[in-house]
Amino acid sequence: MIHICICEDDLNISNYYSDLIKSIVQTMNVNISVFSSGESLLFHFSDKCNQIDIIFADIEMGGINGIQTMIKMRENGYCGELIYLTSIKDYVFDTFETKPLNYLIKQENNTQKLIKTLISAIESTERKNNKKSINIGLSTKKTKIYTDEILFIESYKRKIIVHINNGDFYEGYIKLVDIVNEINDEYFMRVHKSFAVNFKFVKSIDKNVLTMFNGTQINIGRVYLSDVKNRFSSILIKDYELIN
């Protein structure tokens, strides 16, 4: 099931979008929830925000506005799709931090744009739902991480740092061995007492230094060196066979 939330303080507008979305997804397994304020959305989902797949958020609301609401949702770990509802376009540059999929101008007859945007959001959600992910307590919350987006994981002073391929990172107090076991994927391997890498993002290995495609270099521990080189070679062979 795909869970869609509409956060809009104007009842007529929220009903309009709710009815329109229902007419578009009537053959799909979709649930729609409506909230009249950013505060109510945060109250219900502050610690379980990834139960939502798609959010339509009004930018201009009384109290906490839509941008502030979505900044807080993103900070709480929300990684679903976001579509802003707005009366004017002046806020576009203020919303970049929250990574919206699109914007809908409320006064415009935007049915076709809504259909296109909603279908794109649903397709993106379905792709994510089919991707392997882990839910691990990082920092002060549960965070959903897609394993194929992890570059490498670093252990530093009893803390781990999960580096993502878009430049983001997550921190938390958990053992490196536990998160590697949780991922349980042939592309992930511990290469040092303080590092585990995703071989999908490994460019090369030269002697005891591993280079990622983003330029990061990681020293391979002596006790791991032979196994790491063997794993890297077997993955290169497997990937070559898949594309030929």
Segments making up each domain of the chain, as ranges: 2-129, 133-243
Whole-model pTM? Answer: 0.64
Domain covering 133-243, topology: OB fold (Dihydrolipoamide Acetyltransferase, E2P) (2.40.50)
What pLDDT digit, counting tens, does each position of 79-125 carry? Answer: 889 999 988 777 666 778 788 888 888 877 778 889 999 999 999 88
What's the pLDDT band for 240 if we cut at 50, 70, 90? very low
- Burial (CB < 10 A; 0-12, 13-18, 19+), residue 145, is buried
Q: In the predicted model, what is the mean pLDDT of residues 51-70?
A: 92
- The conformation of residue 13, written as its DSSP 8-state character, comes to H
Q: Do domains 2-129 and 133-243 have the same CATH topology?
A: no
Joined tokens for residue 93:
């540059």
What pLDDT digit, counting tens, does each position of 120-145 carry? Answer: 999 988 887 777 777 766 555 667 78
What's the pLDDT band for 227 if we cut at 50, 70, 90? very high
For residue 147, give every residue at least 6 positions away whose Cβ sits within 8 Å of its Cβ, in sequence order, or none: 131, 132, 133, 134, 183, 185, 188, 198
Q: In the predicted model, what is the mean pLDDT of residues 53-81?
A: 90
Question: To the nearest whole number, what is the mean pLDDT of the chain?
Answer: 86
Domain 2-129 has CATH 2.30.30.40: no
